């Protein structure tokens, strides 16, 4: 839950211009009061997806989707269920392929006396960038 405190008294629009979403207030209006924003906003922010939360006093013009607070809870529940199912499938795949993976990656033919560590930290990109969300 995100709270926005110390806003001037008035009405605010909450949107995500990345996907043209307008987030409706708990009273299902296009705008939020400063008191509603101070109580908190429920948002579902999936991992590795771009979300830009824009708070304005004027209504955004390019809106294709509206989402209310009840939908946020349902979207979250659905995604959690989907994630749990994916985790279960991945766990099953790991059980099946685990021994084969270990066998494949033991490098039994490597000569330990000829192996040495290499520090590549100075030339590696430590950041992560996801150029295409949701792929």
Cβ–Cβ under 8 Å, residues 32 and 15: no
Rounded CA-CA distance 122/107 in Å is 27
Taking the C-alpha atoms of residue 28 and residue 36, their distance in angstroms, rounded to an integer, is: 11
Cβ-contact 42, 1 below 8 angstroms = yes
Please report the pLDDT score of residue 29 as a whole number.
93
Tokens of 88: 């279960």
Q: Given a cut of 70, is residue 19 above it in pLDDT?
A: yes
pTM score: 0.57
Mean pLDDT for the stretch of residues 4-9: 90
CA distances from 74 to 43, 44, 68, 100, 123 (A): 11, 10, 10, 39, 44
Gap between the Cα atoms of 73 and 71, Å rounded: 5
DSSP state of 41: B
Rounded to an integer, the average pLDDT of 24-53 is 86
Q: What is the mean pLDDT of the chain?
A: 83
Band the pLDDT of 65: cuts 50, 70, 90.
confident
Report in angstroms the alpha-carbon separations of 107 from 71, 99, 100, 110: 50, 14, 13, 6
Confidence of residue 109 (pLDDT cuts 50, 70, 90): confident
């Amino acid at each position: 839950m995100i709270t926005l405190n110390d806003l001037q008294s008035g009405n605010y629009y909450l949107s995500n211009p990345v996907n043209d979403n307008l987030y409706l207030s708990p009273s299902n209006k296009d705008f939020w009061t400063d008191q509603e924003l101070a109580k908190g906003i429920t948002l579902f922010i999936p991992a590795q997806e771009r979300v830009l939360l824009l708070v304005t006093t004027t209504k955004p013009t390019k809106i294709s989707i509206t989402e209310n607070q009840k939908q946020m809870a349902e979207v979250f529940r659905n995604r959690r269920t989907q994630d749990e199912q994916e985790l279960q499938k991945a766990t099953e795949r790991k059980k099946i392929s685990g021994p084969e993976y270990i066998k494949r990656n033991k490098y039994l033919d490597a000569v330990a006396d000829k192996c040495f560590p290499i520090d590549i930290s100075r030339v590696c990109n430590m950041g992560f960038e996801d150029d295409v969300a949701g792929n």
